[in-house]
Amino acid sequence: MQYSAVDMKAVVCHGPKDYRLQTIRCPQAGRNELVIRIGACGICASDCKCHSGAAMFWGGDGQDSWVKPPVVAGHEFFGYVAALGEGAAEHFGVQQGDRVIAEQIVPCEACLFCKTGKYWMCEVHNIFGFQREVADGGMAEYMRLPSNAVVHKIPMDMPLEDAAIIEPLSCAIHTVNRGDIQLDDVVVIAGAGPLGLMMTQVAKLKTPKKLVVVDLVPERLALAREFGADVVIDPTKEDALAVIKGLTGGYGCDVYIETTGVPAGVTQGLQLIRRLGRFVEFSVFGKETSADWSIIGDRKELDVRGAHLGPYCYPVAIDLLARGLVTSKGIVTHSFPLEKWEEAFALANSVASIKVLLKPAVNDC
């Protein structure tokens, strides 16, 4: 498909609960920039929380809004190079038609974190789909990648569904790596949504002593078993603490990875983890979460680690998918055209789906 400067369809965020399908101008590639034709864009839990008006996105209590509307939503995208600005082929090492993905953060390249290789913690922190200072997001037919985007090539023969989960899989890999899993560890992953199921696959590759997944949805727990979980727990039907203590001689798990996005996932973890354990927090919460901090310090001396984005993990994610060591099968459950974005968001924000994709009509891959 030949790229030309015409109008396109896009899902534009104007504010909380104010997203609109609009016709806007196609982006143009400046020097060292790309325009890509979107192959697919996943709907993330953070997209749903941003749409619903969660305070962490829109501010409150004197804080400025992190989201800067109007902006085309979407950060879980991949696409095909449709246009190259002057110097872009050499700058990114890509050609017309190449299948590519850009990391969700666009580093400023000037702050302390960017200059010391910790670009994912960039102080400016522009992320596709939330602020348009750098570029719009991927819930559109086309998208511009600025010169400071971090771009990776994707094999042309990779299934579309696999290519569509590279971004969340990279986050999953980074999170699991933060857990520093050892061969004799009992690992608990709380939450078997898209990220939790990808973390399950990645954690299994670390070959821990026992891998446990906790969730409330039977179908998701069954899928976690398929992906390598040794034990699955529905805490509404089983005593999770009793199960974990039974697996660990009464001590508790060595590593607890929280990816539920609900406060109970945090307090549950502080209960299940052993003294001197490693607690990894990944979730984006829709509201403030409280816990008894004396457990972290006085009672258990825990090592609490955050996990943010997927730095240096995109090549690893692409390789794992290409080798068939991780899969999107069972995780990508639904896809919709842009025109049905409202139905897609509603489904993505329910337990009736796992990962929902938006696929623009111009997609012919």
Dump the DSSP string for 244-267.
HHHHTTTS-EEEEEE-S-SHHHHH
**Is pLDDT above 80 for 28?**
yes
CA distance 144 to 138: 9
For residue 231, the surrounding DSSP H or E stretch is strand 231-233
Provide φ and ψ at 85, rounded to 5°: -75, 170
pLDDT at position 364 is 42
Q: 232-246, 276-290, 333-347: which has the minimum mean pLDDT?
A: 276-290
The pLDDT value recorded for residue 201 is: 98
Query: Distance between alpha carbon 52 and the CA centroid of its chain, in Å?
Result: 18
Residue 284 has pLDDT above 90, yes or no: no
pLDDT of residue 321: 98
Domains and CATH numbers, the chain: 7-165+328-358 (3.90.180.10), 169-306 (3.40.50.720)
Mean pLDDT on 280-294: 90
- With contact defined as beta carbons under 8 Å apart, do 225 and 231 qualify? no
Return the pLDDT at 78. 98
Question: Could you tell me the sign of the dihedral formed by the alpha carbons of 23, 25, 26, 27, in that order?
Answer: negative
Whether 365 shows a pLDDT value over 60: the answer reads: no
Peptide bond into 70 cis (omega under 30): yes
What residues contact 57, with CB distance under 8 A and at least 6 apart? 46, 49, 50, 65, 66, 67, 130
Q: How high is the pLDDT of residue 250?
A: 98
- Of the two residues 205 and 61, the one the predictor is more confident about is 205
Per-residue pLDDT of 127-136, as tens digits, reads: 999 998 888 9
From CA 271, how far away is CA 116, in angstroms rounded? 36
pLDDT number for residue 183: 98
Q: What is the pLDDT of residue 286?
A: 77
Residues 182-238: tens digit of each pLDDT: 999 999 999 999 999 999 999 999 999 999 999 999 999 999 999 999 999 999 999
Chain position carrying tokens 């979460």: 289
